[in-house]
Structure 1
Amino acid sequence: MAEDEDNSAFVAFSEMGLDSRLLRAIDGMGWPSPTLIQEKAIPLALEGNDILAKARTGTGKSAAFALPILNGLLATKDTDDGSGDHHMNARHVRALVLSPTKELCHQLTQHFQQLTAFCSREITVLDISTGRVDDMRGVMTAETPDIVVGTPSRVLMHIEAKHLPRLKQELKYLVIDESDLMFSFGYEQDLQRVLQSVPTIGCQSFLMSATLNPEVKNLKKLCLHNPVVLKLEEPELPESDQLLQYHIECDEEEEKFVLVNSLFKLGLIRGKTIIFVSSVDRCYRLKLFLEQFGVRACILNSELPVGSRCFVVQQFNSGVYDIIIASDEKCCSDARQRNDRKGKSSKRRPDEEYGVSRGIDFKYVSNVINFDFPTSVTSYTHRVGRVARGHDSGEGTVLSLIGAHEKEYFRTVRESFSASANFKPYQFKMEELEAFKYRSRDALRAVTTIAIREARIKEIKREILTSQQLKSYFEANPKDQKVLRHDRALHTVKHKQHLRDVPEYIVPPTLQAMVKAKKGSNKRLEEEASLSYTPKRKRRPKHLNKKKDKNADPLKTFKFSTTRRSKPKLKNRRK
């Protein structure tokens, strides 16, 4: 086992010996240069080494294994085509990519498809993490894909259904992505059974992880042969010039809602934002609260169908939505509590293969708000990894709202990082938000338990009825996507129009000049850019609809109209 040190000179994509079709795809994706993990891993993988790579979230680990695999597959196909041996040229599953969540499987499939933009006929990719196994029999047997992406449990189902008959003979590449999460998601037995169906010799393996915990070390013994271990010397968090970390201590739960409302309504938070909460109920509670003030936000949680969740992420990345409220149950609940729940039956279990803080590539995120603070350092690190990611340029801001029961968690996180992490208190005077408190209190009263339950039922019903059309229908009819706007109001709480406006007298004195200037210069632009904007059709007054005579005397017209309006009054007087 070799360990690679960070001592080599910079290597560009064009100097790595990659296929020209892959270089064209990289250029089309706008990647100017490889990230550190890509610069280190790709040349070593092209030499045929097994790779165990540790790098924090958002550093470009996916391309670090995708590019060497695609390059190897293209080289094999070119050789087979030239040899004229039809048996060798037969299509088989040559690469298997395992990931812990359905969302990440969908994202990895899209990533492979983007990189094969100029060789899509030669290489096909299939995501088998969703759908009924029996329904995919035809695709898996008649049109066998070159690359299969799925969770360990779904891949095992297809192996047992005989959909991957020559996997042990033909597989050339195995990837276990986010491998440190595999056991925590309950995949230990499934993963071991899948590994029994892959070749022990002649298969290049990749283990990609954000941490090197004992589970990863156990996996290394099972599927790696004399691997190169890449422990990149990089901070767990982005540099302080890229990442600003603020926190506000809230004595009462109500203060969190007041702060989020005031920050959005006063324009203090700009750009694409992810708000993390601890449960599905909290997800809907915050959405119903914000929409009373005209703040539109879409929801991402484990109860929504996987197609809808992937669709939400896709639309967020394309700029349709600006605010996502994500329930991050796995990062906010203690592992001990999760294990206790495994032995208990529940009426409705959310998707066990759901995950949002890890792996999913939210693009160009400007802000992360920890509405509910995570209970571990690892969870905080992965949430923060949503900003300042990989090839995305720009700065990111993290704002954590610390409740009374969360101070201990925050203290642990702050002490675990060095002084360079630069945690700063957000300078905000709560006493200047009294008017916002009164408004927020009324809005919170309206968000009852019944309203939350009705909102959850309404959202689930709507998504179930339309989830089968999300991929195919909206690709063919993009204009009809407004039918399924995930940020639309749920209408389980009565809205009061006056809450949408921010009168000048409730704006804190220190911000009045900024808010006034913002209203005066950017009101029209902000309205048109808002998610709920629809241009209003102006109606002409009735008296202007009649064509005017250019030669008419305006004084006579005025006199005539005045006389007509006064006639009813004269009749009434006579009566």
Structure 2
Amino acid sequence: MSFALLGLAPALLRAVDERGYQEPTPIQAAAIPAILGGRDMLGRARTGSGKTAAFALPLLQQQASAHPVARPTTERRGTARRLHTLVLVPTRELALQVGESFRLLARHLAPPLKVVTAFGGVSINPQMMGLRGGADIVVATPGRLLDLIEHNALRLDGVAALVLDEADRLLDLGFADELQRLLALLPARRQSLFFSASFPPAVKALAEAMLNDPVQLDADAPPVPHLAIRQRVIEVDAVRRTQLLRHLAQQHAGQRMLVFVATRYGCELVADKLGRAGIAATALHGDLSQGARTQALAAFKADALQVLVATDVAARGIDIAELPIVLNYDLPRSAVDYLHRIGRTGRAGQDGLAISFVSAESEAHWRLIEKRHGLRLERERIEGFEPAEDAATAAAPTGGIKGRRKSKKDKLREAAAALQPKRTA
């Protein structure tokens, strides 16, 4: 199937061709006609499924074809643009990514559409300036959107289409109250599109409250990752992971590598050790300023860095073209996040490599990830980095056996008894 068969306008088909899209992904083929038909949508979509274009293309076409003569243009400066499409996302990085996708796909539409991206962690003033004269499309994180509304920078009463992208992450990051406040400001008659990688009870309840007879899509039905991603599992002691990472980075010199770690401290520590070994690396985590995060991503995309060491802030929504390698230095806490992490590679038909370090301590968790995704991968050992520990050794208790150590009260009773005079026969 070609994009032309989905009923898209020539200007959008031209942008699709320039983006290098050969044919619609399954979610695009199913979603675009339904959204063009005005239906609400409930979609389960994994990373790399083409979800952003699946909702951006039909929403752009709707807006471009809706009374184009009456829609404000740059020549009609006295008329403010009326917000048509609102996209809510959980992170700054995803906001930037989705906003850029809308701009690139809309580049040939006439008259041009105005896309504004808004998120916290930076000054609100430039975003307020950007909203002067209104906007056709706003991509925002919930907290910053509420700030802009309180500053009278925009209104939501004219929104025709609402998209919740990565809804499970929106709730995981504590945006439930903000979402409820925003939903109360939106018109009751609107098209609502709801995308999530998973559907815990809170997400299901939100979807039921938002959607009206939705089309339901499941782009995440296959439990195994894309066949273009080759997966390796390497056994290594936890204390030698950084040494092994350095060895692999040198072995794959010239290939970019996205490395996932569990903590912000670990992120900085690993990036620093790689840098001192002569490997161009930097850290990406939530404690960095937005400017530093943007700069790190830009340097990595431009091949100025070989290794980007990141927390899960980069696991979803970051599109890095032709990324060869993803490495799990620490395994993800959630089995679902394993697919999101490795989905950063092997995109758009490219081959990719996903490597996971498994130590004796993390072996049980890795087996759980395998079970959840129907995997059984061969364990590898790299010469010179063979693990000294096994799972049985790692599982042995180090602080004594629970229930056999004396409690504080027992020790106090013994001390009191020792002070009492002994009875004589």
| TM-score between both structures, scaled by the size of structure 2 | 0.84
User: Are positions 1:44 and 2:34 aligned together?
Assistant: yes
* Residues 263-287 of structure 1: CA deviation (Å, up to 9, x unaligned): 223x257622111111222122212
CA change 1:88–1:65 in 2 (3 A) is farther
Match of 1:557 in 2: none
Match of 1:446 in 2: none
Match of 1:309 in 2: 293
Match of 1:508 in 2: none
1:252-291 map, 5 Å: 253-265=238-250, 267-268=251-252, 271-291=255-275
C-alpha distance in structure 2 between counterparts of 1:100 and 1:280, whole Å: 19
Match of 2:365 in 1: 409
Give 1:32 deviation, angstroms.
0.8
User: Are positions 1:386 and 2:344 aligned together?
Assistant: yes
With 421-430 and 68-77 compared, the bigger mean Cα shift is at: 421-430
Give 1:52 deviation, angstroms.
0.9
C-alpha distance in structure 1 between counterparts of 2:252 and 2:164, whole Å: 41
User: Are positions 1:357 and 2:315 aligned together?
Assistant: yes
**8 Å CA contact 1:126, 1:147 repeated in 2:** yes
3-state SS of 1:359 partner? coil
C-alpha distance in structure 2 between counterparts of 1:63 and 1:269, whole Å: 33
| Structure 2 unaligned residues grouped into runs of 5+ | 389-425
Give 1:23 deviation, angstroms.
1.0
Give 1:414 deviation, angstroms.
1.4
* Residues 299-344 of structure 1: CA deviation (Å, up to 9, x unaligned): 211122113212322332333333211123xxxxxxxxxxxxxxxx
Supply the AA of the counterpart residue of 1:250: V
Supply the AA of the counterpart residue of 1:133: I
3-state SS of 1:315 partner? helix
3-state SS of 2:208 partner? helix
* Residues 137-172 of structure 1: CA deviation (Å, up to 9, x unaligned): 4432x321111111111111222222223x21x211
Match of 1:511 in 2: none
C-alpha distance in structure 1 between counterparts of 2:247 and 2:128, whole Å: 53
3-state SS of 2:240 partner? helix
Match of 2:310 in 1: 326
3-state SS of 2:148 partner? helix
CA change 1:293–1:33 in 2 (3 A) is same
Of 406, 420, 430, which aligns to 2:384?
430
CA change 1:120–1:189 in 2 (3 A) is farther
C-alpha distance in structure 1 between counterparts of 2:220 and 2:332, whole Å: 25
**8 Å CA contact 1:237, 1:385 repeated in 2:** no
User: Are positions 1:247 and 2:254 aligned together?
Assistant: no
Give 1:79 deviation, angstroms.
5.0
Give 1:117 deviation, angstroms.
1.5
* Residues 395-414 of structure 1: CA deviation (Å, up to 9, x unaligned): 22111112332122112111
Give 1:183 deviation, angstroms.
1.1
Percent identical residues: 32
**8 Å CA contact 1:80, 1:89 repeated in 2:** no
C-alpha distance in structure 1 between counterparts of 2:142 and 2:342, whole Å: 27
C-alpha distance in structure 1 between counterparts of 2:77 and 2:253, whole Å: 60
Give 1:218 deviation, angstroms.
1.4
User: Are positions 1:139 and 2:130 aligned together?
Assistant: yes
Give 1:233 deviation, angstroms.
6.3
RMSD over aligned Cα, in angstroms? 2.5
**8 Å CA contact 1:272, 1:364 repeated in 2:** no
Supply the AA of the counterpart residue of 2:269: R
Match of 1:238 in 2: 225
Q: Answer with 1 or 2: which has the greater Rg.
A: 1
**8 Å CA contact 2:42, 2:193 repeated in 1:** yes
Match of 2:411 in 1: none
C-alpha distance in structure 2 between counterparts of 1:416 and 1:129, whole Å: 34
CA change 1:270–1:399 in 2 (3 A) is farther
C-alpha distance in structure 2 between counterparts of 1:138 and 1:269, whole Å: 44
1:335-350 map, 5 Å: none
3-state SS of 1:404 partner? coil
Match of 2:11 in 1: 21
**8 Å CA contact 2:92, 2:141 repeated in 1:** yes
3-state SS of 1:78 partner? coil
C-alpha distance in structure 1 between counterparts of 2:135 and 2:236, whole Å: 53
Of 312, 329, 338, which aligns to 1:371?
329
C-alpha distance in structure 1 between counterparts of 2:125 and 2:18, whole Å: 37
Match of 1:539 in 2: none
**8 Å CA contact 2:240, 2:385 repeated in 1:** no
3-state SS of 1:423 partner? coil
3-state SS of 1:207 partner? strand
C-alpha distance in structure 2 between counterparts of 1:317 and 1:212, whole Å: 32
**8 Å CA contact 1:81, 1:89 repeated in 2:** no
Give 1:356 deviation, angstroms.
1.4
**8 Å CA contact 1:126, 1:148 repeated in 2:** yes
Of 19, 40, 46, which aligns to 1:56?
46
C-alpha distance in structure 2 between counterparts of 1:177 and 1:297, whole Å: 30
**8 Å CA contact 2:279, 2:306 repeated in 1:** no
Match of 2:395 in 1: none
User: Are positions 1:213 and 2:193 aligned together?
Assistant: no
C-alpha distance in structure 2 between counterparts of 1:81 and 1:195, whole Å: 25
1:293-308 map, 5 Å: 293-308=277-292
| TM-score between both structures, scaled by the size of structure 1 | 0.63
CA change 1:113–1:146 in 2 (3 A) is same
**8 Å CA contact 1:113, 1:125 repeated in 2:** yes
C-alpha distance in structure 2 between counterparts of 1:146 and 1:268, whole Å: 44
3-state SS of 1:308 partner? helix
Match of 2:85 in 1: 95
C-alpha distance in structure 2 between counterparts of 1:431 and 1:51, whole Å: 49
User: What is the number of equivalent residue pairs in this alignment?
Assistant: 384
C-alpha distance in structure 2 between counterparts of 1:54 and 1:281, whole Å: 33
C-alpha distance in structure 2 between counterparts of 1:138 and 1:383, whole Å: 36
